[in-house]
Structure 1
Amino acid sequence: MSDNSSTNKENALSAAAAAASAPSTEVLDHEHLRQELVKDKSHHLKNGRFVNPWPSFSLMPTLEFAKYLITADQKAVRKSIADGKAPAVVALDKTKIDSPSPLQLTWLGHASLLVQIDGINVLCDPVFSQRCSPVQWMGPRRYTKAPCQVDELPHIDVLIISHNHYDHLDWNTLTEVSKKYPDIKVFSALGNRGILESLGFKNVSIGDWWDEFSVSVPGTEGSFTFACTPAQHMTAIAVARGIFDRMATLWSSWVIQGPSKRKFFFSGDTAYSSTYNNEAKAECPVFKQIGLLYGPFDLSAIAIGAYGPEIMFSTMHVNPEQAVRIHEDVRSKKSIGIHWGTFVLTGEPVDEPPRRLCMEMDARGHPADEFTVLSIGETIQAN
């Protein structure tokens, strides 16, 4: 990021913060700040690919990362699963889902969510296959079952895909969604249109960071805002969909605001501060920006797992302590931990993320239920 771009962004953030006490200028200040953020394209490379433009991102060499994937010691996580430490899977609460509160969330395992807000149903990163892999005969296999399949969900109005990794964009599940809802409104980040349209979706909107989309849904009053917001992640050879697509598609978090002004934040897949080659312990700045522009949030879903060993994975995933910082940065009133308890992707014991989350919430003086976890299939309503 250039010095001028950084200075302009800091000035815009300061101006918006100073004006926060003036409700009459709220909309103007929001749009002024958003436009300043939109101008920054430091995450775009000249070759059409993308990068995390912050010191908090420091990528381990590909060969070292590949070596880990081949030689990874997953004894601790597999023992914890064998010892019965995996999260419970419960039947969907049809009463709550069929008669939802103004804002509620059902965790469908890993980063898969059913979000119900102001009368619409939003499906985020649905993965119901047995494996998050290009094929179903090899690759990470579920150790907790999916709580449902597509046909068991209520009518879906909107689909959000945070990025194209197999544990977030599942060919089999999305094929089922597109067959049932070919005209569904789909949101994703730059570079993902082709794969989504190849799955049969006809109404795909692709966003860059800080882009907003206004959506009206038949049967509801008012409009919904879907905002494509930044995350610190990557799409690299070892875990992307092809040999030559390194950083060719963008990753994102998402914000949903309903006509009632209720707000939901979905972290997607993100990191906060890389351990590798980050002596200054720089932190990703975007979550404070998201919190200032869109917060406070009534409900958030924030990743807490797939971080061990942290020297390897902290550049692309968060640990529970960092997840609490994101909760604070975005100004979330209530958060649910996701991205754990479903697939063996890394080496930490399966029950470690929620335990560390609980300890960090206590250490930072937050009530335990302000940021907690659910059983797979469980529904929670925002206050």
Structure 2
Amino acid sequence: MKTRNPYYQGPVTDHFDGTRFFNPDGKPPKGAADLLRWQFGSGKVRWPAHNPSPFAPVKPELSVEGDRLRVTMVGHATLLIQVHGLNILTDPVWSHRASPFAFAGPQRRNAPGIELDDLPPIDIVLVTHNHYDHLDVETLAALHEEHAPRIVTPLGNDTIIRRAVPDVEIDVVDWGDQLDCGDDVILHAEPCHHWSARGSRDRRMALWAAFVVETPAGKIYHVGDTGFHDGINYRAAREKHGAFRLANLPFGAYEPRWFMQDQHQNPEEAVRGMVDCAAAHVAGHHWGTFRLTDEGVEEPRQALERALDAAGIARSRFRPLRPGEIFDVPTGGEGAE
């Protein structure tokens, strides 16, 4: 009997086989045997119970206008992007655990860099995929109640969100789709090399994506999670969109490489991605808040500094953001070469 997809039904495409999504010319996630080998192996570096940010929680400006572009780190992959009068949240997670359970699973090691009640009016929420450290239905319900934002997410994730927030406004996108957000702002959904699951029986049944936000103040490339995949998607984004003023790139949760390399890039690969997509500046995320993999809490930052130095790229251009940290992205400048 053919497995039924509970989230999405649609035609076969170059990245959907009628039941599951896949990475073209890429690799699927590891299976249960490899998961057990990793989980019961050695090499895990202990994290402190608390890893407080040196930055206090902030209360952001209500709006950022003109040629200004500001990014404020909330934690993990949750960023507040303020540009051209828009307030955009990425993969918002304010819950204490990135888990289906309140009593188990990865827990926050630092407080959110913005309190929920201190958010400015949120216009758009980007949800890149359905892993629990990126799609948090409790947070989405709270945001809907207070802000009623427009949520943009790839195919199938709308079903998960609507079960928790039935009357939410959702735009569902496939790779290559674009949305006109008005006032010369266009949102594009682009490929990344990842996968999806909320449990053990729904692997790859909802799509994952990166986003490009095209604004009069410059282009922003947001990647929530990705394996490097030989830089294919980075180069494709550059070929399609040109250079970026800002790329938001993950660079943590990458050890051990034999298990993680197809789904999470490491700092050296993130720097290569910066060059391949021609990003003038990078807001680095996906580190230091939830312990998901084997490396130590500060190892991603240290490895990133070494990779930037080796590539001859100024450390100021790739910022490993901590909760509460504000990045006012400079104007002008060429993309990385």
Work out which of the two has the higher radius of gyration on C-alpha atoms and give 1 or 2: 1
- AA aligned to 2:324 is G
Would the alpha carbon gap of residues 72 and 100 (structure 1) be closer, same or farther in structure 2, given more than 3 Å must change? farther
Q: Which residue is equivalent to 1:224?
A: 185
CA shift digits 1:209-243 (9 cap, x unpaired) = 11110012xxxxx23111111110011xxxx2133
What is the Cα deviation at residue 99 of structure 1?
A: 5.3
1:112-143, CA deviations, whole angstroms, 9 ceiling, x for partnerless residues?
Answer: 01001101100110111110011211111111
TM-score by length of 2: 0.88
Q: 1:271 to 1:204 in 2, by over 3 A?
A: same
Write 1 or 2 for the structure with the bigger share of helix: 1
Q: Report the residue type matching 1:226 in the other structure.
A: L
The percent of aligned pairs where both chains have the same amino acid is 33
Assess if the C-alpha contact under 8 Å between 1:295 and 1:332 holds in 2: no
State the match for 1:20 in structure 2.
none
Deviations 1:19-40 (A, max 9, x none): xxxxxxxxxxxxxxxxxxxxx9
**Alpha-carbon offset, residue 93 of structure 1:** 4.0
Counterpart selection for 2:226 from 252, 270, 281: 270
| Kept in 1: contact 2:77–2:91 (CA 8 A) | yes
C-alpha distance in 2 between matches for 1:72 and 1:125: 30
1:52 pairs with 2:23:
yes
CA shift for structure 1 position 261? 4.8
When the two chains are superposed, the root-mean-square deviation of aligned CA atoms in Å is: 2.0
Given that residues 98 and 133 in structure 2 are in contact (C-alpha distance below 8 angstroms), is that contact kept between their aligned partners in structure 1?
yes
Give the TM-score, by structure 1 length.
Answer: 0.78
TM-aligned CA deviation for residue 198 of structure 1: 2.3
Moved runs in structure 1, 4+ residues, more than 4 A?
Answer: 72-75
Structure 1 residues 174, 230: CA separation in 2 closer, same or farther (over 3 Å shift)?
A: same
Using the TM superposition, give the Cα deviation of residue 297 of structure 1 relative to its aligned residue in structure 2, in angstroms.
1.0
In 2: Cα distance, 1:128 partner to 1:89 partner: 19
> Aligned residue for 2:283?
336
Q: Specify the alignment match of 2:199 in structure 1.
A: 242
Structure 1 unmatched runs, 5+: 1-39, 217-221, 274-282
The answer as to 2:127 corresponding to 1:165 is no
Q: Distance in 2 between matches of 1:297 and 1:144?
A: 30
Match of 1:203 in 2: 169
- Looking at structure 2, the residues matched to 179 and 249 of structure 1 have their Cα atoms a distance apart, in angstroms, of 25
Residue 365, structure 1, aligned to residue 312, structure 2: yes
Find the partner of 1:106 among 65, 72, 77: 72
Matched residue pairs, number?
316
Structure 1 370/352 Cα, relative in aligned 2: closer, same or farther at 3 Å?
same
Q: Which residue is 1:377 aligned to?
A: 324
* Higher strand proportion: 2
Gaps of 5+ in 2: 1-11, 331-337
Which residue number corresponds to residue 97 of structure 1? Answer: 61
CA contact (8 A) 1:89 1:145 kept: no
Matched-pair contact (CA < 8 Å) for 1:358–1:372: no
